[in-house]
Each structure stands twice: as C-alpha cells, then as structure tokens.
Structure 1
Amino acid sequence: MTAVIVIIVVVVVLALAGGGLALARRKRSQQLQEQFGPEYDRAVEKSDSKSEAEKELASRRKRHAELDLRSLDPQTRERFRGDWKQVQGEFVDDPGGAVEKADSLVTTIMRERGYPVEDFDRRADDISVEHPRVVENYREARRVRDAHRNGSAGTEDLRGAVTSYRSLVDALLDEGSDRGGHDDGSHGDGRHRDDEGRHRDEPRGSGDERGRDDRVRDEGAGNGRQEREADGPSADGAHDHDGSRR
C-alpha cells in the first residue's frame, strides 16, 4: 500500500512539473512574439523548428542586453538629422549615391550609439531587438543597395531604399519609438508612416513627384482658381509659393 501511494505521489509530481514546464514555455513564446512581432515569424520560417527559432531570438535579446548602448546628446542628434537632410537632398541628382550615403550614415549612427557594426547580419539582429518592424526595412534597403552596385536597381527601387533607410534613421535617433514590439507608426516628433511603412516625406524625383494630392477647387472663392494641396513637409522644410513657411 505504501508503495502504491509513493507511485501515485511521484506521478502527480511529475505531472505538475511537466505542466509547469509547458506553461513556462508558452509564456516564453508569448513574450518573444510580443517583443519581436514580425521578426518572430521570420525567425520561425527560417529555422528548422519553433523551439530553435525561439532559442535564437532569446540569444539575440541576451546579447543585446549586454551591449553598452548610449543615448545621443541633442547636438549629436541634430547633426545626424542634418546629415540625413543632405542625403535626401542629393537623391534627385544622384539616387544611387544617396542610397550609398544613407547606408553609411546608418552605420555611423549605430556606431555612435554603441552597436557593433562589423557585420551586417549582426547589426540587423541587434536592431531587431528594439526595432523589430523597422529592421525589415533595413534588410530591404541593403538588398537594393547591393542590387545598385550590380547595376540591377531602378530609380523607384532606390527611392524605396532611401525611404527605408529613413525609417531606421528615425528609429535610431528617436530612441525607443519601436521598442518592445509596439509600433504605432510614429517617430516621437509627430511624423507618421503610412500603411506600407513609407514616410510621407519620402524623396521626390524631378518630373514624377509622388505623394501629391489631386488638385482641388476652392468652391468658396467662386473664381475658378485652383490650388494644389501641399506635400507633407520635406526633410529641410517646405515653403508656399509666396515664401511663407508651411
């Protein structure tokens, strides 16, 4: 009788331990999904198993926690914003050059923040911990940069790459805007991205400017005058035709 009781106790203990382990695994999975968002799904797709993917993501998180990341002082932040304005301003005349400079600027900002920058895949993994949505823009922008070097990237591809780099520059300068897997599309300074993650002030080309609203009539004026609604603010600030700042 005693042996039977012992066996029952052991079975119950093992069942409870197994249930606790399963609960801990579910909780860990939920936490990783919430933190990494789409990056979690990407890791699972690339891995042989869900457990392997979660192990890799947990490793990223642990490694990121050990980084000595620094906040940027206001002067440095504004300097980098000025550098970005220059990059975007050069897009019309030299789209490929603007992409190259955008990629270099991102690396410079990461180095200034304290990220290891020797390897691109490592940079992307480190970025994904705090910016799991923006990091895919980074990968796509780098893909276009490489395609440009091979002569297989068109102007629209380059335009998209600069816009993608912009999202990462914003994330790195507006620290914490995408942390914890929560991203409402804002950048801390009132600007927002549209549904595709592209900025409304994306670089514009000559002759085929994008993002302009249709012409609308001023019905109240009654004089047939047409006005074109302005674009969103450009990187260096836009002005109306009369010289006043919008």
Structure 2
Amino acid sequence: PRVEEQFRAIGEPWARTLSGGSTGGWESLAWQVFYPDMFNGVWTFCPDPVDFRYFQLVNIYEDDNAFHPNSTWKTSAVRPWQRGTDDQVRFSQRDASHLESVLGSRGRSGDQMDIFMSVYGPVGDDGYPKLLYDKRTGEIDKSIVEYWRDNYDLRHILARDWETLGPKLVGKLHFFMGDTDTYFLEEATRLMEAFLEQTTDPYYEGSFDWGVRQPHCYSGMPEFPGQTSYQRVLPRMLEHILETAPVGADVTSWR
C-alpha cells in the first residue's frame, strides 16, 4: 500500500508482480505463495532454499548433523557451504557456522545462517530465535524441524495446499537458477521443479530457466551486452499482465 500511495501505480492485484534475487528471491516467492490473491506473478532469481530437504546441502528432516551427512564411518566436517563454478570448495558448513558464532551469539551475527534461523525458526523462552542446529557441534534440533516445515518450506506448503493454492498460482511462478550455484541452492530448486512439473488440476504453467555452469545470482542469459535482469523480465511481466488483465481493465493509458 505504501508504494501505491507514493508512486503512480494501478493498485490492483492483476497489475502487481514480484521479483528478487537470493534471499530476496525467496521472499518474493514466499509473498506470492502466502498471498496468492494479492500478486499476479513472481520472477525469482536464485532463491534461498525452497525445499528444506536441501537446506543448501542439509536435509533438515533426515540428517542428524549439519556439518556432515549421516554416516557410520565418516563424521568429520565435510559438508560444503560455498564453492566456485569449478566446484572448488571455499567454505564448509562448519566454517560458516563458527564464523557466525564469533560475530554474535544467539543468532545475532547478522550473517546468512542466523538470518535463516531468525526468520524460519520459533522464538525461544529467552526471547531469541531457537537455532536449527548447534553452531559448535552441528547437531540439529529436531524439536523445531516441524515448525520450519509447516511454516516456511515453500515446496512442502505448495504440495500440502495445492488444491486451494494451485488455481490461484497458474502461470505465476517463474524461476531462474544457475546449475552450479555458489551456495548449492540448485538442489532445492530441482525438487521444486519436480513437484511443479507433475502438478495436475491445475498444472502450474510456470517456467524454470537453468543457467549452465552459472553461479549464484543467475537471472537469465543477457540478450545484448550490459542487459540487466529487469530488462529481461519486465517485458515478460508486461506480457503476463496484459494476458491476464480483467475485462475492461485499463491496459493502455500507463504504457
């Protein structure tokens, strides 16, 4: 409402679209999913984990420890957290977690994992976010996993509520992801794609744009030198708005 009060805007759901990258990509997708009647489409770039079976590389439902996979013989901190497009690992999950512990306790580092835990997790008795896992040992707190799943695992929410959400989201969900994402976000996006592609009654009618050997923040391949991501998606947004505008809507005076 604030934007539409201050700027020249139509102010109707059919004319509102969303976009964002990385954490903003997750947020824009979440807004579309949580408020399907308020927005008319999302073009999300490299969103943060959209399926917590791949919370980066951690399966919060099955793994016991964030620092290493379940294994009867390998319990060293081997789980990567950041890589280059040549797959060279720059940080491990443990490295990133220990750094955040130095920057601030109780989820107050202001860095990425604490941001996730502050948003997705419940509030503890001490008033601070309950952390998904112990930053020192990596042990996952299974008592809060269900809360994460039911409130913020977007793929789970879509699957659970597709009967009611699906009809409101047809043609509205569009994803861009590099297949060598710096933070391994492509794995969760693949699970989202697998779910959406098998939807029926209705079929989702959205899209996935995969960048081959592209890192984090992939937003589609440039059509000419210097083209920005929004120069690519704004025409698609406009086309979608014109195709879905209600009969009698003003689709000319503002163009």
Bucket of the pairwise TM-score, normalised by the shorter protein: under 0.3
Higher relative contact order (CA 8 A, sep 6+): 2
Q: Which has the higher helix share?
A: 1
Q: Which structure has more strand as a fraction of its residues?
A: 2
TM-score, normalised to structure 1, is 0.24
TM-score, normalization by structure 2: 0.24
